Structure 1
Amino acid sequence: MSEKKKTLPPQEQERQPGLESEMRPAPDYRPRFKGADKLKGKVAVISGGDSGIGRAVAVGMAREGAKILILYLDEHEDARETRRLVEDEGSEAEIFAGDIGSEQLCREAIDLAIRKFGRLDILVNNAGEQHTVSALEELSEEQLVRTFRTNVFSMFFLTKAALPHMECGAAIINCTSITAYKGHTQLIDYSATKGAIVTLTRTLSELLAPRGIRVNAVAPGPIWTPLIPASFDAEKVSTHGGDTPLGRPGQPNEVASCFVFLASEEASYMSGQVLHPNGGKIVGS
């Protein structure tokens, strides 16, 4: 068997969630193009907005004119840096720390967005956690419940809190994963949550269509985010994304453009759909 393709320097982090500030090389989060006011006057709430895909989405939407509320767990340095990056784009940002597995906290976060910015047009359900196991027998009840609470329950909680403030033309964008379609032998519970998110997206799109609220999802493949060195050993990290047809991991800004598109009027006739920035792997839609 040939040696796996090396794509990154070997590294790992001991804490969950990981820190973008400790990653080498740093992920590429900056938008690749000038803004065109696609989201001018809009307000977006982004869970997991401190780093990784969430940071890239926050900066990308800010470049298009949106004001941003960044939700995160406890990565304070990363969150403050993302707020600075949003402000560097000429927009406004607020940060809010806490566990979105709590429905009360989700209500408080949405209330803050309304108090701060006066409206809510875009909800990005991006936050997630993952933990590896080598066999189903190793998957504890505690981990199973925790992963579903963070990855799935939070989407119910945030969406429930946000909907009273969202009007016709608003957009909800959920972050699922290629693992929803292909599975992952080490991420058993995580993969299951991502499949649930696909179904939730399709159900909400039908439910909210009469109100003119679009609901879509993005299913990234192997992207260079803090979750990777925080989840896998250094050797596995060093080959991350090497098995894709494009032969490398994706960067957060290569995913963020999907979220910006789905939030904008360019996607005004799209709902219940999933976009697949995954390095060329063919999966069911």
Structure 2
Amino acid sequence: MSDLNNPLTKFYSGKFEKQRQEAPALQRKMTPVPDCGEESYTGSDKLSGRKVLITGGDSGIGRAAAIAYAREGADVAINYLPFEEEDALEVKQWIEKAGRKAVLVPGDLKEEAFARKLVHAAAEELGGLDILVLNAGMQQAVKDIKDLTTKQITDTFTTNIISMYWTVQEAMAYLPAGGSIITTTSIQSEEPSAHLLDYAATKGAITAFSKGLAAQLAPKGIRVNTVAPGPIWTALQICGGQPQEAIPEFGQKELLERAGQPAELAAVYVFLASDQASYVTGQVYAVTGGSFFA
């Protein structure tokens, strides 16, 4: 019997219920709960002994990466907002179940002092830092530019891109030759939605930042790459990231006719962090369900 899986039906492909949580949202209260590989990801020691910090590691893509990294042999620190503690504690359990050390560092990346302190706290608890995954994001849909407040623009840019400068600046004290930085951009960098003017702009900035940083750090032997997800079913979508009327058919216009699940990105984050990607830097890895990334 073939063990192949049809990508059209491998994960949930039905309509989603309209559901609204205030931002930030808890993944555990979503319907259906996103699949982050909790029951499916199998490791093979690709990251044995590595020390990893993941921002936005409590849910969604960051959670999937954290679980996968632990099962590949890494110790993992995750950052998240204090409200998201319930989700973060679940991730901690999965990391420890894999036999690895889990470090929780709650705090808001919009605060420069915290963003900088985060890196040192993680490195101290982990005993070093080899891999930095900058995944935290803010996304709030606004249909009319006249309704887009200065506070939202500032908060989105600070969370999504400005905090990356702060964390990388501090991480340079720890990252060795052979280390890896992985950022999360988006298909929005190439195909911006009309209702995500601020979010899409930050994702374009992340793509440029990642490519430029790769050029700067290559002589140090540190690789930098970015992952560009398409419509992935995460807590970001149901707490204002998408208009409620768009939730039922979220992702179903892609070639694969469904939204992606966080678990479907985990292997990409693992690859980019591993020695298997030793000749890969300055690249954008698109996981979009069919949308093309130039």
TM-score range, shorter chain: over 0.9
CA–CA distance in 2 between the matches of 1:152 and 1:165? Answer: 21
1:87-98 matched pairs, under 5 angstroms: 87-98=96-107
Does structure 1 residue 249 correspond to structure 2 residue 256? no
1:73-92 matched pairs, under 5 angstroms: 73-74=81-82, 75-92=84-101
- 5+ unaligned residues in a row in structure 1: which ranges? 1-5
Asked whether the equivalents of residues 7 and 241 of structure 1 are also in contact (C-alpha less than 8 Å), the reply is no
The structural deviation recorded for 1:15 is: 1.1
How many pairs align?
279
**Which residue of the other structure, out of 173, 185, 195, is the alignment partner of 2:182?**
173
SS in 2 for 1:164: coil
Does structure 1 residue 16 correspond to structure 2 residue 26? no
Asked whether the equivalents of residues 8 and 239 of structure 1 are also in contact (C-alpha less than 8 Å), the reply is yes
TM-score by length of 1: 0.95
SS in 2 for 1:29: coil
Paired amino acid for 1:52: G
Asked whether the equivalents of residues 10 and 235 of structure 1 are also in contact (C-alpha less than 8 Å), the reply is no
The structural deviation recorded for 1:13 is: 2.4
The structural deviation recorded for 1:98 is: 0.8
Residue in structure 1 matched with residue 9 of structure 2 by the alignment = none
Residue in structure 2 matched with residue 42 of structure 1 by the alignment = 50
TM-score by length of 2: 0.92
CA–CA distance in 2 between the matches of 1:34 and 1:145? Answer: 39
Q: Which moved more, 1:94-103 or 1:213-222?
A: 94-103
Cα distance change, pair 147–33 in 1 and its aligned pair in 2 (3 A): closer
- 5+ unaligned residues in a row in structure 2: which ranges? 1-12
Q: Which moved more, 1:81-90 or 1:246-255?
A: 81-90
Does structure 1 residue 236 correspond to structure 2 residue 243? no
**Which residue of the other structure, out of 57, 60, 65, is the alignment partner of 1:57?**
65
SS in 2 for 1:276: strand
The structural deviation recorded for 1:135 is: 1.5
The structural deviation recorded for 1:91 is: 0.9
SS in 1 for 2:42: coil
The structural deviation recorded for 1:33 is: 4.5
CA–CA distance in 2 between the matches of 1:268 and 1:9? Answer: 39
1:154-173 matched pairs, under 5 angstroms: 154-173=163-182
Residue in structure 2 matched with residue 202 of structure 1 by the alignment = 211
Residue in structure 2 matched with residue 103 of structure 1 by the alignment = 112
Structure 1 segments, 4+ long, off by >3 Å, are none
Paired amino acid for 2:262: P
CA–CA distance in 1 between the matches of 2:157 and 2:278? Answer: 30
SS in 1 for 2:14: coil
Asked whether the equivalents of residues 7 and 249 of structure 1 are also in contact (C-alpha less than 8 Å), the reply is no
Q: Which moved more, 1:197-206 or 1:95-104?
A: 95-104
CA–CA distance in 1 between the matches of 2:33 and 2:21? Answer: 18
Residue in structure 1 matched with residue 76 of structure 2 by the alignment = 68
Percent identity of paired positions between Structure 1 and Structure 2: 42
The structural deviation recorded for 1:107 is: 2.2
The structural deviation recorded for 1:233 is: 4.0
What value does the CA root-mean-square deviation take over the aligned residues? Answer: 1.2
The structural deviation recorded for 1:24 is: 1.1
Deviations 1:102-138 (CA, angstroms, capped at 9, x unpaired): 2211222111122212110000000000111112111
CA–CA distance in 2 between the matches of 1:69 and 1:12? Answer: 30
CA–CA distance in 2 between the matches of 1:34 and 1:120? Answer: 23
CA–CA distance in 2 between the matches of 1:163 and 1:187? Answer: 32
Deviations 1:221-263 (CA, angstroms, capped at 9, x unpaired): 0001001111234431111100000000000010121111100
Asked whether the equivalents of residues 171 and 262 of structure 1 are also in contact (C-alpha less than 8 Å), the reply is yes
1:118-197 matched pairs, under 5 angstroms: 118-197=127-206
Paired amino acid for 1:126: N
Does structure 1 residue 279 correspond to structure 2 residue 289? yes
Residue in structure 1 matched with residue 271 of structure 2 by the alignment = 261
Deviations 1:8-60 (CA, angstroms, capped at 9, x unpaired): 33232231121101111111111644311110010100000000111000000
